Amino acid sequence: MDITPAIPAGRQVIDGYGGNGFRISHQRREGSVLVFPTETLSWSVSAMGDLTADHFQPVLERAAEVEVLLLGCGASIAFLKHDLRALLKDHGIVADLMDTGAACRTYNVLLSEDRRVAAALIAVE
């Protein structure tokens, strides 16, 4: 029995992660990434402590398209600074933090439900 969620054609599906990168829609991406339903961008973040408001600018520019931002924190869950969480909330975006693997899986499920989702994923070895 196939339990893979049905995802519309042309969407950015996360096929795998690890080895300091991701496989998204059958294409290898090195390092951390921002994944939107129709586009994937490189993201210059290697640890949660590095995050600034500037790192979220591409997400804020698409605020009308993003309801939930899944933040893959790396190998384990971490906290998001209060001012960064407030910045996202001010733009109508809910940040949901989890380890990167869980964020990848959750993104695919929400994408299959046609939710307004994006993922900010910190690469793991």
pLDDT of 4 reads: 58
CATH number at residue 88: 3.40.1230.10
Structure tokens, 27: 């294409």
3-state DSSP assignment of residue 59: helix
Q: Are the beta carbons of 47 and 121 closer than 8 angstroms?
A: no
pLDDT of 3 reads: 46
Pairing of the two strands 14-17 and 117-121: unpaired
User: Is 13 inside a domain boundary?
Assistant: no
Q: How many residues does the chain have?
A: 125
Number of domains observed in the structure of the chain: 1
Which domain covers residue 47, as residue numbers?
Answer: 31-121
Closest Cα partner for 24 from 33, 36, 11, 15? Answer: 15
pLDDT of 5 reads: 62
The residue with greater pLDDT, 55 or 6, is 55
Give the predicted TM-score (pTM) of the model.
0.94
User: Is 6 inside a domain boundary?
Assistant: no
User: Is 65 inside a domain boundary?
Assistant: yes
pLDDT category of residue 79 using cuts at 50, 70 and 90: very high
- Kindly tell me if the per-residue pLDDT of 36 is higher than 50: yes
Instruction: Please state the rounded mean pLDDT for residues 53-66.
Output: 98
Calpha distance 37→13 (Å, rounded):
8
- Per residue in 85-118, pLDDT (tens digit) is 999 999 999 999 999 999 999 999 999 999 999 9
User: Is 4 inside a domain boundary?
Assistant: no
